[in-house]
Amino acid sequence: MSTPTPVLLGIFDGHNASAGVYVADRIVSLVQEERLVRVKNHYGLPQQAATEALRLAGITAAEVDLVCCASHFVSPPQGPRWATESFDARYQGRAALQRRITGAAAYRHRRAQQRMNQRRTAVSGWGFDPDKVTFCAHHEAHAATAYHGLRRDDEAYLVLTLDGGGDGQSGSVWVGRDGDLTCLETIPQADSLGELYAVTTHLLGFTPLEHEYKLMGMAPYADPRYAEPTARMYAGYLGFDPVHPLRFRRTFREPLSAVGPRLQRDLGRTRFDSVCAGLQLFTERILCAWVQRCVEQTGVGRVLAAGGVFMNVKANKAVSELPEIEFFEAFPSCGDESLPIGACYLEARSLGGLPRPIEHCYLGNDLSPEECRQAAAAGGDQVTVEEPADMADRVAQLLADGEIVARAAGPMEFGARALGNRSILADPRNQDVVRVINRMIKKRDFWMPFAPVVLRRHAAAYFTNPKGLPSPYMMNTFDSTEQRLEFMAAVHNADLTARPQLVEDGQNPGYEAILARFGERTGRHVLLNTSFNLHGSPIVCSAADAMGVLLDSGLQRLILGPLLVTKHATTT
């Protein structure tokens, strides 16, 4: 007798809140609240995202069997500056904050129970029976996303999680086999590698839990001679537990989330680029050593990863290149925004089901022709609208002619990476296109690279990938080949690496067609892809969002569903 397939609504109501729907053994929709409320990294209950995810799945609230909440404890809803303000508070030694960070297990358990009751009541206000609301542990949910979302067979996988922290932990080690996960170790939140990186991000004047990638991007510019002393300094903060060799352990009393004053003193007048380089070097070293220990203890060299630390694509490169590693893949956009997926996977598995791996990340709203025409009409006489019979061919010619084209077409991709359906595309051969795009719209920090996109069948010409690792979600970095002159605008200028999107055949036909036609016209099979958004704002979601960005930026070309919208150049 087959097990009935549950209908599940997964939610995460913390940093970068999101909601998704699980039906027929798979995730069918997933939406971040930030895309709808237009507040970057929205923190709080994802009510609009939950409503939209249900709509996209064609499911009513009455049909939902369970509402699966990721994490036992999540702080109450926070304002848009909560991350910076909470890190500022750590320098002031607030008693309540210190209790939250270092509190005894009983204290943390009591607070978690209070918050679960509050969240259950809030979700019941959406029309759900409070008895249908379940909760799962933060890092178990991360592990479930990686294992159930990425596994290709029933053989053993080493599953690793690392982030700033959740439910008192900052990491975990699991073995997944035959559809089940077995936990081997957990890492206390006080010994968090992610927190150490975030505190440094804050100390350098960036937004913690958001701008860590800017430190990673700056790191290759520094002279290695200056990176080494800083890396050694960080190594004095965090090492391995001699009793529990798969755990990290800090070297002093305060938790790593509270080391800002100590770090500020120890760094002294160290140059900012040396800080970035030293921190990144230390991160890669300790992460590689940890993975090696895990492989040695388990004998499993096929690694799946999740948690915000694995958004560090340069560290992922270092891990994937270890000789012990047979296979490595990080879950797409593996920060806390992916936790609703893990919550659904865990609940489905507990009910006897076996979740199917994800096939793609295009889990958001599509743009109907009617929506697109209505949004384009709002441009009035500022724009010209056409409906090409062969959109891919028309756009490929524009790109080959050196134009920059935004694309809002097809189901919106989930996560931090634009994967073609809410993207800006350009020919990456001319490196000056970086300056042009930044002037038009992105205003990206001058040291930050853009990313290339290529059909995976053409990837060997452009990237060194001896293990043939997949990278459809831009979760890894590779060295570029000597053909990098064909895409220098999408290569890191300092170390010549790139974070490519390697598109699998059949994953996104409309996007693939543009790449194929561009290749036919130019003999070059690689484009520049960056997210379609104004600086500091979430990636566009609706047709109206896309038109708003077109009109408020220097962009002139926009694929809007079946339409090609051209904004008229202004004259002075």
Q: Are 230 and 196 in contact (CB under 8 A)?
A: no
In the prediction, which pLDDT does 104 show? Answer: 64
Q: Tell me: pLDDT of 178 over 50.
A: yes
| Residue 234 contacts residue 279 (beta carbons within 8 Å) | yes
| 3 has a pLDDT exceeding 70 | no
Asked if pLDDT for residue 214 goes beyond 60, the answer is yes
pLDDT band, very low/low/confident/very high, at 92 (cuts 50, 70, 90)? confident
CA 118 to chain centre: 28
Query: Residue 572: its pLDDT value, please?
Result: 39
CB 539 within 8 A of CB 414: no
Q: Treating both helix axes as pointing N-terminal to C-terminal, what angle do 193-203 and 82-89 enclose, rounded to 10 degrees?
A: 100
Kindly state the average pLDDT of the residues 444-456: 95
Kindly report, residue by residue over 304-321, the tens digit of the pLDDT.
999 999 999 999 999 999
On whether the CB atoms of residues 146 and 334 are closer than 8 A, the answer is yes
Contact in structure between 48 and 16 (CB atoms under 8 Å)? no
pLDDT classification of 1: cutoffs 50, 70, 90: very low
Residue 348: predicted pLDDT: 97
Q: 401-430: per-residue pLDDT in tens?
A: 999 999 999 999 999 999 999 999 999 999
Task: Tell me the percentage of the chain whose pLDDT exceeds 70.
Answer: 97
Token pair 């130019």 is found at: 522
Q: What does each C-alpha distance from 74 to 95, 148, 270, 308 come to in angstroms?
A: 19, 24, 36, 16
Whole-model pTM: value is 0.96
Q: For residue 84, is pLDDT > 60?
A: yes
pLDDT tens digits along 280-339: 999 999 999 999 999 999 999 999 999 999 999 999 999 999 999 999 999 999 999 999
Q: Is the pLDDT of residue 107 over 80?
A: no
| For range 82-99, the mean pLDDT | 73
27/444: higher pLDDT: 27
Answer yes or no: is pLDDT of 128 > 70.
yes
pLDDT at 139 over 80: yes
Please tell me the predicted confidence (pLDDT) of residue 101: 52
Confidence of residue 98 (pLDDT cuts 50, 70, 90): low
Tens digits of residue pLDDT in 496-528: 999 999 999 999 999 999 999 999 999 999 999
Contact 536, 432 (CB under 8 A): no
Angle at 308 between CA 305 and CA 310, to 5 degrees: 40
Residue 100's pLDDT is 54
Q: What value does the mean pLDDT take over residues 252-259? A: 92
Percentage of the chain modeled with pLDDT above 90: 91
**What stretches of 310-351 show up as alpha helix (H) in DSSP?**
313-320, 339-350
pLDDT at 571: 47
Tell me the domains of the chain and their CATH numbers. Answer: 8-140+341-350 (3.30.420), 151-331 (3.30.420.40), 369-567 (3.90.870.20)
What integer pLDDT is reported at residue 79 of this predicted model?
Answer: 84
Mean pLDDT of 372-376: 98
Instruction: Give the model confidence (pLDDT) of 340-369 as tens digits.
Output: 999 999 999 999 999 999 999 999 999 999
- Strands 26-32, 18-23: pairing kind: antiparallel
